[in-house]
Amino acid sequence: MPAMADTATSHWPFMKMHGAGNDFVVIDGRGAPVTLTETLVRALADRHRGVGFDQLALITDGTDLTVTYYNADGSQSAACGNATRCIAARELTRNDSDTLNIEVTGRGTLRAVRNADGSTSVNMGQPQTDWQDIPLAQDVDTLSLPIDGNPVATGMGNPHCTFFVDDVMVIDLAQVGPEIEHHPLYPERTNVQFAQVIGPDHIRMRVWERGTGITLASGSSSCATAVAAARRGLTGRKVQIDLDGGTLHIDWRDDGVWMSGPTAHVFDGTLTPEFLASL
């Protein structure tokens, strides 16, 4: 059966969005409840037979709105910073407002604001630096993990593992990424970042996301990398991060890690009854 509440519905609308090339399918389930299955999420993620995305976001009713995120492999993700900014940008415009609270399943309430230049920033919350909160499988120094390359562990809702290297472009991300994602020190798997410090406020980064693979950008990974760099004393707490798909600006303040950058609402579409019935 189609994974939706009303199987008589003739179509199922969705939005395609991206932030710095990190792309999403966004389904608005407010007023028309939607139930997602792992099979459906994986089918939608297929870039040849479905729509294609790095993450899927399901919006439901909440204080302002509630969002649940899914990875391309069908697993849930507790945070997706770029998708949160994309959704916030759309909602702020629709509501003609300057602030918005978004309840993210597994992460809590995140605050979004419209900036004077029209861009959107989201407070991704406080980073987690204790091994139990990230979480890791054992009590280790999160600033110097017992993994080749001496990475840093950080939690931003999702677990992260950040390597600081001399040149991110020589890293075989397709080979190393899945090995680190499934490292036994990370019981819930991990996002993997390779970061090159360009200057005290400038980082070049590439990323492998758990449950998805190589992506052009990652908001939570950018926040985790900025926190890791600041904790190591490699940069200040406010940095520009250049990714394969664009640039994000991270500011680790007393009230949390703020992220700003580009957003795009690319197109609207509908899933057909034929597609839904084939799953």
Q: What is the reported pLDDT for 63?
A: 67
CATH 3.10.310.10 is held by the domain 152-254: yes
61: confidence class by pLDDT, cuts 50, 70, 90 = confident
Q: What share of the chain is helix, strand, coil (3-state, %, to 5)?
A: 20, 40, 45
Asked if residue 119 has pLDDT above 90, the reply is: no
Confidence of residue 10 (pLDDT cuts 50, 70, 90): low
How many percent of the chain have pLDDT more than 90? 82
Contact between 173 and 205 (Cβ < 8 Å): no
Highest mean pLDDT among 75-84, 93-102, 200-209: 200-209
Distance CA 262, CA 120 (A): 8
The domain ranges of the chain are: 12-124+263-277, 152-254
Q: Which pLDDT does position 150 carry in this prediction?
A: 98
Comparing 12-124+263-277 with 152-254, is the CATH topology the same?
yes
Give 176-191 pLDDT, tens digit per residue. 999 999 999 999 999 9
What is the average pLDDT value for the chain, to the nearest integer? 93
Predicted pLDDT at 3: 39
Position 143 scores a pLDDT of: 98
pLDDT (tens digit per residue) in 235-258: 999 999 999 999 999 999 999 999
164-180 pLDDT, tens digit per residue, is: 999 999 999 999 999 99
Q: Rounded distance, CA 21 to CA 24, Å?
A: 9
More confident call, 77 vs 153: 153
Q: For residue 149, is pLDDT > 80? A: yes
* For residues 140-164, average pLDDT: 97
Residue 83 identity (one-letter amino acid):
A
Q: Helix 219-232 vs helix 81-95: angle between axes, to the nearest 10 degrees?
A: 120
Per-residue pLDDT, averaged over 227-234, amounts to: 98
228 has a pLDDT exceeding 50: yes
Pick from 19-28, 29-38, 110-119, 131-140: least confident: 29-38
CATH architecture of the domain 12-124+263-277 equals Roll (3.10)
Helix, strand, or coil here: 7?
Answer: coil
Q: How far is CA 212 from CA 6, 92, 105, in A?
A: 29, 28, 19
Q: Check residue 197 and give its pLDDT.
A: 98
Average pLDDT for 6-10: 44
**In the predicted model, what is the mean pLDDT of residues 244-273?**
96
Which has the higher per-residue pLDDT, 115 or 236? 236
pTM for this model (two decimals): 0.93
